[in-house]
Structure 1
């Protein structure tokens, strides 16, 4: 009888530890997801764009195009820099209201 009580106690203790770990991870990842959602919401509200995945991807692509324009200007490639800048600004002006 005492052995059965010991293993029951051990199972409850192990279950409590696992439950604590799972609840802690849920709290951490839930907080990160909430913070990420708030970041995207604030970014899109400030820029005046939609919060859809397509809009976020278009924003990233537009910023990459502008970065490519800066790199082209630093390499003294004026024509390519103007092309990249125009493409990036066109895309960004399309998604930002």
Structure 2
């Protein structure tokens, strides 16, 4: 599949997304980032400190992008397919939690 490929649905996109996350360290960094995003969101809501929500994109994308640039050696799908990529992050997170994807 090429970077210029277009997808008609998320179900067409997700196999491509998984190919872009074949490196286990990259997947682990995504998992850590997503877990921290949830923790920070819960903390911000639980303590009524909404400014913490500003950290969410930095945390989520920071861990993911380190995984891509340093370990996967590719360009994050976010740059080409932002909505599908965000959806893919959470579907992959679920799939790792349930054991469908190794991490």
Do these two structures clear the TM 0.5 threshold for a shared fold by scoring above it? no
More helix per residue: 1
Bigger Rg, which one: 1
TM-score (norm 2): 0.40
Q: TM-score, normalised by structure 1?
A: 0.42
Q: Which has the higher contact order (CA 8 A, sep 6+)?
A: 2
